[in-house]
Amino acid sequence: MQIRYIKASLATMITIYLGEIFNIDSLFFATIAAVISSQISHIDTVIVGKKRIFGTILGATVGMIFASLFKSNILIIGIGIYSIIYISDNIIKSSAANVACIVFLAIMLNYGNKTPFIYALNRLIDTSFGIIITIIVSMSLSLINKKYKIFKK
């Protein structure tokens, strides 16, 4: 049995369960973060989780600013995507551009009856929630596996 399969499954189930208890705005975004962050080693899970949170912060910030200043249209979305990739690659030197672009698009295309700030904040909370749970699950399973050697890597 591979540990990554168990980590992703458990992290997703726990994210849904606790997300319902804590009334997380979007279990969809929380569980996506949980699945994407699940890696073979707990160290890789933390690294991917940090990149995902950073990308979410960048995309949420740019999305909130753009959605507050401009009506969503093709040109504004294109400029936003370009800006995010440029900031990520040239200013911040991070590989979080893909995640940031996805969050930006979610905000620009989906914020509906919420303010862009509230929608962006909810995406950050949802994503962080899923990642934190995944890191806890990953570290816990790694400790158990270290002691009992249950899982294959």
The pLDDT tens digits of the residues spanning 128-137 come to 999 999 999 9
Q: Residue 142 and residue 70: Cα distance in Å, rounded?
A: 46
CA distances, 40 to each of 48, 81, 147 (Å): 11, 31, 17
Neighbours of 62 (CB within 10 A): 24
Q: State pLDDT tens for residues 33-86.
A: 999 898 878 888 888 888 889 999 999 999 999 999 999 999 999 999 999 999
Place of tokens 């995010």: 84
Neighbours of 119 (CB within 10 A): 23
Q: Which of 109, 70, 103 is nearest to 84 (CA)?
A: 103
pTM of this structure: 0.85
